[in-house]
Amino acid sequence: MEEIVQSFFNAEIAEAAMPIVLAGLLNTILLSLLVVPLGFLGGLILAVLAQVRNPAVRWPLMAWVDFFRAFPPLVLLVLLFAGLPFAGVELGGFACVAIAFFLNTGAYYGEILRAGIESIPHGQVEAARSTGLSGLQTMTYIVLPQAVRNVLPDLLSNTLEVVKLTSLGSVVAVPELLFQARQAQSVTFNATPIVMAAVIYFLILWPVVRLLSRLENRAAAGRG
Amino acid sequence: MAYPIVAAHGIHKHFGQLHVLKGVDLEVEERELVFVIGPSGSGKSTLLRCLNRLEEPSSGSITVAGIDMLSPRTDINHARQHIGMVFQSFNLYPHMTALGNVMLALRKVAGKSRSEAEDIAQAALERVGLADRAHHRPAELSGGQQQRVAIARAIALEPRVMLFDEPTSALDPELVGSVLAVMRSLRESGMTMIVVSHEMGFARAAADRVVFMDHGLIVEQGPPAQIFETPAHERTRAFIGQIRQH
C-alpha cells in the first residue's frame, strides 16, 4: 500500500512536477483552442459544399471526407512529422498536430454538420429564397442556426474527442499535458506526474461530459 | 387593356423522364386574381414555382413586372422581391418570432434599418390581424395564424404579384376562413394574385379568371361562372364534378 502511494500519489513529487505539468496543460489548452475552431470551420466548409449538387464538387468532397475519416489521426500525424521533411518541408510538431487534426476532425465535424443541415425542412429554404435571400444568406440565417442546435450533442461529443486526442501531440514532441507529465515521470522515476495529468484531463473534461448528458437527455425528452 | 404583369410563354418543364409542363402560356394583368385548378399532377404547382424560378423551366420565357426572369443577366434574388409566395406548409422559420420571420428579408434583402424593418413588419402583421402575436414563435401559433404570418412575410416586401400554392390545404377546416379573409382583403387592396387552390367557393366569389390545367397543359380558362357552370371541355366537367362531390 505504502509503495502504491509512493509511486502514484507522491505529494513531494507532485509539488515538484506541478510547474512542468501545468505548462503542459497550458499547451493542451492552446492546442485545443487552435484545433477545435479550425476543425469546426473546416467542417462547416465541407458541410456547406456538400449541399452543392454538382458532381464535380460532390465526388472529390466525398472522397476527401471518407479518406480522412478512415485514416488514423496518429498515422497522419507521424506521416506529416516524419514524412514531410523528406519533401523538404519541415513543420514543427505543433503545426503538424494542427494540420493533422484539422484534416481529421474537420471531416468529422463536417459529417455532423451535414446531418444537421439536412435535418432542416427544404420548405424553409424555398421560403427564404422566395423572399430574395441568397443561398448563402439562407444558410447563414435560416439553416445553420437550427442545424447547429439540432446536432449540438454530437458536436460537443466530437469536441471532447478532439481535446483528448491532443495527447497524440506527445508523439511528435509537442510539450502538451501528457508529454510534460512523461518528462516529469522520466526524471523522477515516479508515476505521480502521469496521475496528475489524468486527474487534470478528468477535471477539465468531466463538466463537458455532464453537459453532454444533460443535452442528450433533453433531446430525448424533446423527441418523446 | 392593361399590360400583363406576368407573362409566361411556352413553358416546358421536365423532371428527368417526366414531362410536367408541356408548353403553357399564361398572362396575368395587374390587379387580376387568377385561380389555377386541376387534378394533382396536372402541373399547376410546378407552373407557379416556375414563375419565381424556384423551379427552373426547361424552356420558355417568363416576364414578371417587366423583368426577364430567365435571363442570365437578371439578379434573381432582386427579382424575387417583387414576387411574394405563400406555401402549403407555411414554411416559417421556427427559430424566429413572427416579427423576426417578417423582418429578415426586409433587413437582408431590402436593406432596411432595424427600426424601419420592425415598423414595416409590425404593420404587415397588423394587416393579417396578428399584431398581438408579433413576439410568438411559430410553434405557439395555430396553422391559420402561421399561414397569415407567412402572408405578412411576403407582403412586407411590397411585391407586385403574390403566388399562393395551395395556401389552405394543410389547414383544419375551421382555420381556413381566417386565411381566406386575409386573401380577400389583399384582393380588395388591388394585389395581383395567382392562386393554386381547391377553394371553389373562394374562387367563385373573388377570382376574375379560373384556369383549368390537366396533364401539363391549360385545358380552358374563363370567368368562374363559365368554368364552373358551363365548362367547354369534358375533362373540365369531370374535374368540377369530382370537386363538387366533396
Task: State how beta strands B192-196 and B59-64 pair.
Answer: unpaired
Residues B175, B186: Cα–Cα separation, whole Å? 18
Q: Which of A121, A133, A142 is closest, CB to CB, to B77? A: A133
Q: Which residue of A has its CA nearest to B91?
A: A124
8 A C-beta contact, residue B58 and residue B22: no
Region of residue B51 (phi > 0: left; psi between -120 and 50: alpha; otherwise: beta): alpha
ipTM of the complex: 0.94
Q: Which residue of B has its CA nearest to A149?
A: B95
Interface of B with A in 113-172 (CB under 8 A): 150, 153-154, 157
The C-alpha cell at B190 is 388591388
Q: Which residue of A has its CA nearest to B153?
A: A131
8 A C-beta contact, residue B224 and residue B230: no
Burial state string for B204-217 with b = 16 or more CB within 10 A and e = fewer than 16 = bebbebbbbbbebe
Band of residue B154 on the pLDDT scale cut at 50, 70, 90: very high
> Is B85 in CB contact (< 8 Å) with chain A?
yes
Number of Cβ within 10 Å of residue B196's Cβ equals 25
Q: Quick one: pLDDT at residue B212?
A: 96
Q: Quick one: pLDDT at residue A89?
A: 86
Residues A110, A48: Cα–Cα separation, whole Å? 9
Collect all residues of chain B within an 8 Å Cβ-Cβ radius of residue A123: 87, 89, 91
Collect all residues of chain B within an 8 Å Cβ-Cβ radius of residue A126: 54, 87, 91
Alpha helices in A166-191 (DSSP H): 177-188
The C-alpha cell at B11 is 413553358
> Is A131 in CB contact (< 8 Å) with chain B?
yes
pLDDT at B1 over 90: no
For B7-53, the pLDDT digits (tens) are 999 999 999 999 999 999 999 999 999 999 999 989 999 999 999 99
> Is A140 in CB contact (< 8 Å) with chain B?
no
The C-alpha cell at A123 is 420548405
- Closest Cα in chain B, distance from residue A108 (Å): 26
Q: Cα B219–B225–B228 angle (5° rounding)?
A: 50
Q: Which of B77, B89, B110 is closest, CB to CB, to A134? A: B77
For B123-145, the pLDDT digits (tens) are 999 999 999 999 999 999 999 99
Residues A146, B209: Cα–Cα separation, whole Å? 41
For chain A of 224 residues, list the mean pLDDT of each consecutive stretch of 10. Answer: 87 89 92 92 93 89 92 92 88 88 92 96 97 96 96 93 90 88 90 92 92 84 62
Q: Which residue has the higher pLDDT, A171 or B165?
A: B165
Q: What is the mean pLDDT of residues B80-98?
A: 96
pLDDT at B115 over 60: yes
Q: Quick one: pLDDT at residue A223?
A: 61
Residues in chain B: 246
First to last CA, chain B: 38
pLDDT at B165 over 90: yes
